[in-house]
Amino acid sequence: MRVTPLTGRFGADVTDIDISRPLSDSELTDLRSAFGEYSVLAIRDQVLTIDTFEAFALQLGSFGDTPYITPVDGHPNVLRLLREADEAGPLFGSGWHSDWSFQAQPPSATLLYGIDIPPAGGDTAFIQQEKAYDALSDGMKQLLANLQGVHSARRSYGPKGTFGQRDDRRSMEIIGDETALETRLHPLVRTHPDTGRKSLFVNEVYTVGIDGLHDAEAKPILDFLFSHCRRIDFTCRVRWQQGTLTMWDNRCVQHYAIDDYFGHRREMMRITLAGDTPK
């Protein structure tokens, strides 16, 4: 297995490994080590069926829970992310976010496999939240230490959310409901359960407030954190190729699907892995 960094801070391309077959203990150890170091891995030149995709995911952990989106028939833990060449409207995955942070135990990782890739465009951008936290002043770290963010799916999947209403023109079947209005509290600063590193745990899509603060008080803090996280030196970008499987650590990374490939079809398969309660 060869690991080539994408940037000087995080993210890496992985080659010379075949994940369509069961990995050996040493291969799994090397892959986990690279994931812990780089947070985002783009594993290139893979040929996966839906069954081998699931089998690879289960070598890394158990499946996470995926609400609001109809999965692949017969494969309840796999989503088909499809956008036809002439499809308009909001792009699923756009906006900086950490997958399903509104859940009590958000997914530890997301795995996305490219089946039909545009000739250009459709990149996925990432933010390293540990680097963003490290760059804060001691005073800001102290301010955030005991605060909890309010997370909700309402902006995306609530009745008035971006995907809150059925749209037959959309290739993906996304069905929001009233449960999206529920809220969940998570610390603004969480500690990674494997590495012990601290990171910010906020995102523009699902973090809607700060517990115990009025909206007028919380907004300036969140706006600063959102802006701070987007600093270019905390980012990397994966350029997709057919047969690439990209996996990222939702516990310390945000991501953004870039909508710049109108006129081209894009199809992916996605699995999330179960996580723990942020602490």
Which residue shows structure tokens 């089998």? 55
**Residue among 94, 115, 108, 113 nearest 39 (CA):** 108
Query: Residue 2 gets which letter from DSSP?
Result: E
Residue type, 28: L
Element (H, E) at 248: strand 245-249
Strand partners, 151: 184, 207
Strand partners, 207: 151
Q: What is the 3-state secondary structure (H, E, C) of 160-223?
A: CCCCCCCCCCCCCCECCCHHHHCEEEEECEEECCCCCCEEECCCCCCEEEECCCCHHHHHHHHH
The CA-to-CA distance between both ends of the chain, in Å, stands at 33
Residue 54 near residue 77 (C-beta atoms within 8 A):
yes
List active site positions.
Answer: 97, 99, 255, 270
